[in-house]
């Protein structure tokens, strides 16, 4: 019975990152899958690379979601809510008679 390369003692790993700034560990001897890039300078046993990821990946949300949320927050700052009640025919006549 063979074990997964991710569970083998003595396996050497690298850290990968994708365009959404999501991290992954990867066996150093395996070809890097499409859409992923090697994080330079991070290589070692499983604990070493997972410790790096724990420190580097502090926001689990994908980059596209973080950008969308920032855009929503920025547009909300530039849009002021309407606080005045719309004037209707009945409120206009009431206002005119009460003055």
Give the rounded distance of the alpha carbon of 39 from its chain centre: 18
Predicted local distance difference test score (pLDDT) of residue 97? 52
What is the per-residue pLDDT across 84-96, written as a single tens digit (0 to 9) for each?
555 655 555 555 5
d(CA 51, CA 55): 6
- How many of the other CB atoms lie within 10 Å of CB of 26? 18
The whole-angstrom separation of Cα 79 and Cα 53 is: 38
Q: What is the pLDDT of residues 32-46, one digit of tens each?
A: 999 999 999 999 999
For the chain, list the domains and their CATH numbers: 1-59 (3.90.820.10)
Spatial distance between the Cα atoms of 68 and 25, rounded to a whole number of angstroms? 27
Look at the pTM and tell me if it is higher than 0.75.
no
Question: Given this model, what pLDDT does residue 14 score?
Answer: 99
Per residue in 62-90, pLDDT (tens digit) is 999 999 999 999 988 877 555 555 565 55
Task: Give the position of tokens 């606080």.
Answer: 83
């Amino acid at each position: 019975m063979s074990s997964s390369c991710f569970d083998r003692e003595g396996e050497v790993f690298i850290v990968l990152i994708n365009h959404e700034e999501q991290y992954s560990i990867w066996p150093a001897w395996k070809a890097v899958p499409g859409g992923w890039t090697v994080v330079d300078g991070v290589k070692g046993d499983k604990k070493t690379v997972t410790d790096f990821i724990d420190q580097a990946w502090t926001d689990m949300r994908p980059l596209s979601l973080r950008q969308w949320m920032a855009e929503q927050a920025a547009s909300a700052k530039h849009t002021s809510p309407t606080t005045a009640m719309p004037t209707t025919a009945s409120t206009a006549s009431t206002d005119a008679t009460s003055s």
